[in-house]
Amino acid sequence: MSVVVHRLRDVRRARYAVAAVFAVHGSVTGSFATRVPWVQDHAGVSAGQLGLALAFPALGASLAMPLAGRVSHRFGARTALRGLLALWTLSLVLPSLAPNLPTLCLALFVYGAASGVSDVAMNALGVDVETRLDKSIMSGLHGMWSAGALIGSAAGTLAAHLGTDARLHHALAALVLTAAGLVACRWVLDLQPAEDEDPPPRFALPPRSAVLIGAVGFCAVFAEGASLDWSAVYLRDRLDTSAGLAAACTTGFTLTMAVSRFAGDRLVDRFGAVRSVRVSGVLAVLGGLLVVLGGHPAVAMTGFALLGLGIAVVVPLCFAAAGRSGGNPSLAIAGVATITYTSGLIAPSAIGGLAEATSLVVSFGLVTVLACGLVVFAGVLRAGDRRVKVRRPDAAVPGRRS
């Protein structure tokens, strides 16, 4: 009994450690996002060139994500996460040092690659802890990422308001976040591969199950990217609101997602992953209809809030389902993450292109149609459903030893 209690205590401590890692990861993103205008001016690039450069983080992440499983196999989960997270936090300084477009693209490629491999490593550990605890935690972990992003954004906003050089700001932020990440990694589970476990391939296509799960995540992230980048424009241009009210809509959408993620685990434990995503999809579809059909700012803002509420828990559940879908968890999570990253990359430009050809109403009609996919295809997340099959907290994960 004492061994079981000891293991359960270690797993609970590991949960908080992984949550801290998620917050650190999000803080890097928030710290960078608020200083993009400074980076643009320093590199001397136009808006179009900046748009090209900002495609490189997703490209770097997509190419690097499949490497996370091999790194974890070679060094063990804790050491791998420690190194990959430090690589990510320190890469924050690179974009602000870039003096021109080519170096900015290279810096953002490295920045994105570091983000991708550390993202896969921490999600794989999160799924492992969730399995051992026998309850849903992935939604809350992603809520911690959102909280970290808000903290990083707030610090970046203050630095920009004070006129602080982004090189100094990012250097200090990188040092603080690296130290915080290294401390948090001390208590994550030190999972090691079994002695007879073969290393994952250097590169492999994601399994079919990951593609199907990723398709559900694609629908959710497309709605997220569209709402984040275009909700303010929609209210300003379509409904003639003030710039302040338009910005408040985007802020409300972000806060709704963060709050929903913190509350999502209880709902998933009670209703299961499949039912939760189906209900979430219904809310997202209702939100999209209010955006498209409502002709009043309050109606549209309610619609965007419902969109945020509806898609908040989907991506965490996609990662959880991928990690338990069979085969190599890191490879499956990498496949899902690559698909969702791609969705986040193409959504803003797709919405803009369709709006230019037709209208923003038609663009968000597409978002509403994709939200229907959450309702129709939620069944593919059954592998991540906590109510289907769970493991005892002290049980070992097949093929792994801690």
Token readout for 158 is 């203050």
CA distance 334 to 25: 17
Chain Cα centroid distance, residue 307: 17
* pLDDT tens, position by position, 74-107: 888 899 999 999 999 999 999 999 999 999 999 9
pLDDT at position 394, please? 41
Which one-letter amino acid corresponds to residue 369?
A: V
pTM: 0.82
Mark whether 255 and 366 lie in a shared domain: yes
Nearest to 222 by CA among 319, 307, 298, 324: 307
Mark whether 280 and 380 lie in a shared domain: yes
What is the average per-residue pLDDT within 189-194?
77
Task: State the CATH number of the domain containing residue 135.
Answer: 1.20.1250.20
Report whether 18 contacts 130 (CB < 8 A): no
Look at residue 184 and tell me if it is in a domain. Answer: yes
- Looking at residue 396, the DSSP 8-state letter turns out to be P
Torsion angle of C-alpha atoms 124, 125, 131, 136, degrees rounded to 10 = -90
Look at residue 398 and tell me if it is in a domain. Answer: no
Nearest to 222 by CA among 120, 342, 304, 335: 342
Angle at 116 between CA 127 and CA 70, to 5 degrees: 70
Task: Tell me the pLDDT band of 205, cut-offs 50, 70 and 90.
Answer: low
CA distance 261 to 140: 5
Convert 138-147 to b/e letters by CB count within 10 Å (16 or more is b). Answer: bbbbbbbbbb
Token readout for 22 is 């998620």
DSSP 119-131: HHHHHHHHHHHHH
* pLDDT tens, position by position, 33-62: 888 889 989 999 887 788 788 888 888 988
Burial of 69 (0-12, 13-18, 19+ CB in 10 A): buried
- Relative orientation angle of helices 329-357 and 56-64, to the nearest 10 degrees: 160
What is the average per-residue pLDDT within 186-208?
71
Mark whether 225 and 344 lie in a shared domain: yes
pLDDT at position 206, please? 65
Domain boundary among 160, 191, 222: 191
Which one-letter amino acid corresponds to residue 20?
A: A
Look at residue 400 and tell me if it is in a domain. Answer: no
* pLDDT tens, position by position, 297-353: 999 999 999 999 999 999 999 999 988 877 677 778 888 888 887 887 788 778 888
Nearest to 268 by CA among 309, 316, 209: 316
Query: Which residues on adjacent β-strands are paired with residue 7?
Result: none
Mark whether 47 and 182 lie in a shared domain: yes
pLDDT at position 110, please? 96
Mark whether 142 and 235 lie in a shared domain: no
Nearest to 62 by CA among 226, 170, 214, 208: 214
Angle at 263 between CA 258 and CA 269, to 5 degrees: 135
The parent domain of residue 348 ranges over 208-384
Mark whether 218 and 100 lie in a shared domain: no
Query: Which residues on adjacent β-strands are paired with residue 193?
Result: 400
Look at residue 196 and tell me if it is in a domain. Answer: no
CA distance 194 to 33: 40
Task: Tell me the pLDDT band of 399, cut-offs 50, 70 and 90.
Answer: very low
pLDDT above 80 for 401: no
Mark whether 34 and 176 lie in a shared domain: yes
pLDDT at position 197, please? 66
Select, from the ranges 204-213, 251-260, 373-382, the one with the highest average predicted confidence (pLDDT): 373-382
pLDDT at position 76, please? 87
Count of domains observed in the chain: 2
Mark whether 130 and 37 lie in a shared domain: yes
Q: What percent of the chain has pLDDT over 70?
A: 90
Using only C-alpha atoms, the chain has a radius of gyration, in whole angstroms, of 21
pLDDT top residue among 387 and 111: 111
What share of residues in the chain are helix, strand, coil (percent, to 5)? 80, 0, 20
Residue 220: CB atoms within 10 Å: 29
Nearest to 268 by CA among 367, 354, 382: 382
**In 234-313, alpha helices (H):** 243-271, 273-293, 297-311
Report whether 207 contacts 332 (CB < 8 A): yes
pLDDT at position 387, please? 52
pLDDT at position 400, please? 47
Mark whether 77 and 172 lie in a shared domain: yes
Look at residue 396 and tell me if it is in a domain. Answer: no
Residue 182: CB atoms within 10 Å: 15
